[in-house]
Chain A
Amino acid sequence: MTIPDTTTTTTPDTTVPETATATTTTWEDLVTMALLGTDRRAPAPDLLGPNGPAAGRDAPVVLLDAAALHTVRRRAGLLPAPAAPVPEPAPRDDRPALPGAAARRLTLLLADRAGAGQGSGGRRGTAPDLTELLPQWLAAANEYGYRAPATALPALLDAARARTDLRPGALALAGPRALWLARLNPEWRFALRGASGAGALPSPADTGAVRRLWDEGLFAERVALLGAVRADDPAAARELLAATWSAERAEDRLMFLDSLRNGLADPDEPFLEQTLADRSRNVRATAAELLSALPHSALAARMADRAAGCVALDRTSGPATVMVEAPHECDAAMQRDGVVAAAPAGRGERSWWLAQLVEATPLAVWSGRLGDREPAELVALPVADGWQEELHGAWCRAAVRQRDPAWARALLGPPATPPASLAERSKLLAVLPAGERARWVADFIAAHGLSDAFQLLGVCAVPWSPPLGRAVVDALDAAREAGSYPWSFSGVMGLAERCLDPGEAERLELPAGAPGEREGASPGSGDYWAEAFQRLVATLRLRAAMLAELIPSPAAP
């Protein structure tokens, strides 16, 4: 809006008779007069009118009269301003729109996020925790390939900004229009970089553009680019990296090298072997770790040679026993292959070196070296001189690194044995196929209850398979029977709300509807359990409704 130029205009004489003569006093003059006060600066003669002060009006009133006239005239005469450049139109998004009910659900889920701060301190009551359902909702909606409603984009971007775990899902749903919007608001810049900012990256096939961005882009853009190219053509990514390798900074080299973890394969070996001679110790260690995950690599073979020299089978006295002779020194060649010479505090140097050798050795070596045995048999072999813990620990890390299900299964052992290191077990579980993983955890819960199950449940596929879901529900019911308080199990409860198959809601009706309190139970626990089960059922119902809303209606084109 502009203010029409009032400095030279004449006052319309019909409005205020006192100023019927041509006026030369501008609005700025009036403001100055008002700021200083009429005692210091008297109104100009033209304001006082033909009769001057004799009109009987005080100077301040004359000033106010003139200012009122100016104000109303200015407001009534406002004109539009020349427009600043308008934003470019957003790219088209041809994905289907969300069904109406699902769009309303999204608004609710996003709105709950905004108000989540207040309720967190108190008891949770029976209402489902909507915030925790947002990731699932986003994943399900993205599976159908919907596009988010335009008006939900700001809330989606805000949610993605606050929670990095939501970013990929939220940005995928939000689509190109959200990236267009993010360019207008500095708070949403995050959407334009990072792996999910794919809209801003050139297509991996466009080698010229890829090369240009790789040479000139910011670090974050380059990491995203490398990831995208690696996903499309692993060799092309490696070549891109090799071309500029020597000029990169050490921290950047480490990050770039780490992105080769995706799609790691034998052709990567020569490049990795080269980087074993890198200036940076961290880069060398990462290269060695990556190489050891390639069982056919030269490094793996060298490690196998060294490890085989340390571990042997002794058949001389009684049953076959594994004998361990830890290395006596960590020579330059070992260090070049990524073995760290200095042991952490509290660990013997020799056992530290041994652990690193075994960890990097292809597991297949052992069945030959230790008498043609299956992994399970190898794990069962007695180990002499108290080396068992060290050796098995190293095998565990090797099984995880080489993603070897047979060894993972053997090292996990039967679920009924007392829990050893849960962190180790959950890592081993992640190597097993989803169905087997769920069965193992179900058996574990049946044997040991829920107190140690949280970490293991975290690696199971969602929704939980029926046997696993039943095991968890039975264990929760048993805990209620035993009379403990439900918040001792709040972690598992929360997981169950998110991960149980929504179809289990029917089976849960019974515990939810039976608030009976057993003798000897903690006081009031029955009510709390009823509440916890009600929330569980409500959440499962909500999830079922949520997923049903996303099913495209047959009427839609």
Chain B
Amino acid sequence: MWGLCKGSGSRPYQTVIDTTGPAYRCSCPSRKFPCKHALGLLLLWAADGAAVPEGEVPEWAGQWLAGRHERSERPREAGGRTVKTVDSAAARRRAEQRAARITAGAEELEQRLADLLRGGLASADRGGYGPWEETAARMVDAQAPGLAGRVRELGAIPGSGPGWPGRLLEECALTHLLDRAWLEVERLPEPLAATVRTRVGLTATVDAPPVRDRWSVLARYDSWDGRLTTRRTWLHGAASGRTALLLSFGAAGRAPQPGPPAGTVIDAELTPHPGAGQLRADLGEQFGPPVPGAVPPPGGPVADALAAYGRALTDDPWLDAWPVTLTGVIPGPVPDGGWQLADADGGSALPVAPAALARPALWRLAALSGGAPVTVFGLCGHRGLTPLAAWSPEATGAVPLT
């Protein structure tokens, strides 16, 4: 998309936008990015597509677009070669130093957990959040952000309502399992070892071949943990049958990279991260703008969803939830204050996860269903399902529930 904007100078500013990026270029001197000219052009286009008619690409716009296209091609050809050309010896030394620090951290955490169980979880209730926060800081120092995150969550459990001792023991045990796995990571088979490294907090080296597909963007939502905004985008590829998760981050209140909007379909390449049971991927080149029409992945009754979660646990025992599609389920509140998704043609139901119960989107789901079966995409975990998107004859396209 391109346009000319009359500014204060004698020559109009030349503004070009690549909507697949999105990326912007403008001949104005503004240091804001994107500049007001590009934003104005986008607003015009968003308000009324006809305001920006099709036309022949002028030279100044064509050059830039061609350049962009070329640049986006180049890294693919270069592939892993660029990665390997860095000084491998120095990199290996740094990696070893970090691994040693993490190992020290994991041992310290093991000690902390053993002390806790020796004295009893009942004391964790009295200690408050302070000791956990301190341990989490120690894990950050040990360069193990994954362990630090788990420790912070442990600190929140004693205040999480009835049944907390059982939940705290579960999470302590899984943290212990991760510690042990890290301490003996060399003995683990490679996919599981990669999973353990990712769980501990090491950044995975992504060198798998990219997968090109028409990806349905099933859901996109942000979460904020007080430090970082994390944007999660769930995709499903029609041909590959893969489900993938894109992550992007925004620090200190900044918005993360926009990414493709929910409910659309993108023709793009994804590069999966390594590790057993890992769905994370990086978005590579996009071959055209997002178009509406996201379709749900193939699904089944609620029992299938729980079975899928169970199978995924064999690859990654630390998984809290697994993406599933439920077909033919009727959502609704149940007498004890919770919600369920019940098979329309059977007596089985899956509860909605407690963390999702406060969402107004549940009422949107109930309204959409009207007591009739719908298709729901969500995350199925040990505490229930978190619905993310739904499809019904009542509405065109995917209805976001985030």
Chain A residue contacts of B303, Cβ below 8 A = 79-80
Interchain CB contact (< 8 A) of B367 among A1, A64, A154: A154
Find residues 374-402 in chain B having any chain A CB closer than 8 Å to their own CB: 382, 384, 392, 394-395, 399
What are 27 contact pairs spanning A and B, CB under 8 A? A34-B120, A35-B121, A35-B165, A38-B118, A58-B114, A60-B114, A60-B118, A61-B110, A61-B176, A64-B113, A67-B169, A67-B170, A67-B176, A68-B174, A68-B176, A70-B173, A80-B350, A84-B342, A89-B370, A90-B370, A149-B394, A150-B394, A151-B367, A152-B367, A154-B360, A180-B370, A181-B363
Find residues 31-70 in chain A having any chain B CB closer than 8 Å to their own CB: 31, 34-40, 58-61, 63-65, 67-68, 70
Tell me if A249 counts as interface (CB < 8 A to partner B): no
In chain B, what residue has the closest Cβ to A90?
Answer: B370
Distance to closest chain B CB from A80 (angstroms)? 4
Chain A residue contacts of B173, Cβ below 8 A = 64-65, 67-68, 70-71
Chain A residue contacts of B6, Cβ below 8 A = none
Annotate B75-101 by CB proximity to A: 1 below 8 A, 0 otherwise.
Answer: 000000000000000000000000000
A86 touches B371 (CB 8 A): yes
Tell me if A27 counts as interface (CB < 8 A to partner B): yes
Tell me if B244 counts as interface (CB < 8 A to partner A): no
Chain A residue contacts of B313, Cβ below 8 A = 72, 75-76
Given A84-B335, A154-B367, do A31 and B119 touch, yes or no (CB 8 Å)?
no
Interchain CB contact (< 8 A) of B170 among A39, A60, A63, A71: A71
Interchain CB contact (< 8 A) of B117 among A34, A83, A90: A34
A89 touches B372 (CB 8 A): yes
Say what secondary structure dominates the interface of chain B: helix
The segment out of B21-29, B191-199, B326-334 that lies at the interface is: B326-334
Chain B residue contacts of A31, Cβ below 8 A = 165-166, 169
Find residues 198-218 in chain B having any chain A CB closer than 8 Å to their own CB: none
Counting chain A CB atoms within 10 Å of each CB, the highest count among B332, B367, B372, B395 belongs to B367
Counting chain B CB atoms within 10 Å of each CB, the highest count among A35, A65, A80, A82 belongs to A80
Interchain CB contact (< 8 A) of B317 among A72, A80, A153, A154: A72
Chain B residue contacts of A78, Cβ below 8 A = 306, 309-310, 382
Annotate A89-112 by CB proximity to B: 1 below 8 A, 0 otherwise.
Answer: 110000000000000000000000
B364 touches A151 (CB 8 A): yes
Tell me if B274 counts as interface (CB < 8 A to partner A): no
Chain A residue contacts of B347, Cβ below 8 A = 82-83
Given A76-B313, A83-B348, A84-B335, do A177 and B174 touch, yes or no (CB 8 Å)?
no
- The CA of A178 and the CA of B168, in the complex, are separated in Å by 41
Tell me if B177 counts as interface (CB < 8 A to partner A): yes
Chain B residue contacts of A422, Cβ below 8 A = none
- The CA of A31 and the CA of B346, in the complex, are separated in Å by 35
B351 touches A81 (CB 8 A): yes
Chain B residue contacts of A208, Cβ below 8 A = none
Tell me if B302 counts as interface (CB < 8 A to partner A): yes
Find residues 510-535 in chain A having any chain B CB closer than 8 Å to their own CB: none
A89 touches B371 (CB 8 A): yes
Given A75-B313, A80-B350, A83-B347, do A154 and B120 touch, yes or no (CB 8 Å)?
no
Say what secondary structure dominates the interface of chain A: helix
Chain A residue contacts of B113, Cβ below 8 A = 60, 64
Given A83-B340, A154-B363, 12 extra CB contacts under 8 A:
A34-B117, A64-B114, A71-B170, A72-B313, A76-B310, A76-B311, A80-B303, A80-B348, A80-B350, A84-B342, A150-B370, A153-B364
Tell me if A77 counts as interface (CB < 8 A to partner B): yes
Tell me if A185 counts as interface (CB < 8 A to partner B): yes
- The CA of A1 and the CA of B370, in the complex, are separated in Å by 24
Distance to closest chain B CB from A56 (angstroms)? 14
A82 touches B382 (CB 8 A): no
Interchain CB contact (< 8 A) of A84 among B174, B317, B334: B334
- The CA of A68 and the CA of B382, in the complex, are separated in Å by 14
Distance to closest chain A CB from B304 (angstroms)? 10
In chain A, what residue has the closest Cβ to B351?
Answer: A1
- The CA of A184 and the CA of B347, in the complex, are separated in Å by 21
- The CA of A181 and the CA of B123, in the complex, are separated in Å by 45
Counting chain B CB atoms within 10 Å of each CB, the highest count among A61, A83, A90 belongs to A83
- The CA of A40 and the CA of B118, in the complex, are separated in Å by 8
Annotate B30-67 by CB proximity to A: 1 below 8 A, 0 otherwise.
Answer: 00000000000000000000000000000000000000
Chain B residue contacts of A60, Cβ below 8 A = 113-118
A67 touches B367 (CB 8 A): no
- The CA of A61 and the CA of B117, in the complex, are separated in Å by 9
Chain A residue contacts of B268, Cβ below 8 A = none
Tell me if A30 counts as interface (CB < 8 A to partner B): yes
Annotate B101-137 by CB proximity to A: 1 below 8 A, 0 otherwise.
Answer: 0000000001001111111111100000000000000
A61 touches B118 (CB 8 A): no
Interchain CB contact (< 8 A) of A177 among B334, B342, B370: B370
Distance to closest chain A CB from B335 (angstroms)? 7
Distance to closest chain B CB from A183 (angstroms)? 10
B310 touches A75 (CB 8 A): yes
Interchain CB contact (< 8 A) of B306 among A1, A34, A61, A64: A1
Interface residues on B, range: 35 or more
B119 touches A64 (CB 8 A): no
Tell me if B314 counts as interface (CB < 8 A to partner A): yes
Tell me if A329 counts as interface (CB < 8 A to partner B): no
B332 touches A184 (CB 8 A): yes
Annotate A375-411 by CB proximity to B: 1 below 8 A, 0 otherwise.
Answer: 0000000000000000000000000000000000000
Tell me if B269 counts as interface (CB < 8 A to partner A): no
Tell me if A87 counts as interface (CB < 8 A to partner B): yes
- The CA of A408 and the CA of B148, in the complex, are separated in Å by 79
Find residues 111-167 in chain A having any chain B CB closer than 8 Å to their own CB: 149-154
Closest 5 CB pairs of A and B: A37-B120, A90-B370, A67-B173, A83-B349, A80-B348
Chain B residue contacts of A87, Cβ below 8 A = 330, 332, 366, 371
Tell me if B219 counts as interface (CB < 8 A to partner A): no
Chain B residue contacts of A150, Cβ below 8 A = 367-368, 370, 392, 394-395
Chain B residue contacts of A67, Cβ below 8 A = 169-170, 172-173, 176
Chain B residue contacts of A79, Cβ below 8 A = 303, 306
Chain B residue contacts of A40, Cβ below 8 A = 120
Tell me if A88 counts as interface (CB < 8 A to partner B): yes
- The CA of A90 and the CA of B366, in the complex, are separated in Å by 10
Annotate B353-366 by CB proximity to A: 1 below 8 A, 0 otherwise.
Answer: 00000001001101
Counting chain B CB atoms within 10 Å of each CB, the highest count among A37, A79, A86, A149 belongs to A86
Chain B residue contacts of A71, Cβ below 8 A = 169-170, 173-174
Chain A residue contacts of B177, Cβ below 8 A = 68, 72
A80 touches B306 (CB 8 A): yes
A82 touches B120 (CB 8 A): no
Chain A residue contacts of B364, Cβ below 8 A = 151, 153-154
- The CA of A337 and the CA of B302, in the complex, are separated in Å by 72
Interchain CB contact (< 8 A) of A80 among B176, B302, B382: B302
Chain A residue contacts of B372, Cβ below 8 A = 89-90
A81 touches B349 (CB 8 A): yes
- The CA of A224 and the CA of B344, in the complex, are separated in Å by 36
In chain A, what residue has the closest Cβ to B305?
Answer: A80
Given A177-B367, A184-B332, do A37 and B117 touch, yes or no (CB 8 Å)?
yes
Distance to closest chain A CB from B351 (angstroms)? 6
- The CA of A34 and the CA of B164, in the complex, are separated in Å by 12
Distance to closest chain A CB from B369 (angstroms)? 8
- The CA of A353 and the CA of B132, in the complex, are separated in Å by 81
- The CA of A185 and the CA of B365, in the complex, are separated in Å by 13
Chain A residue contacts of B349, Cβ below 8 A = 80-84
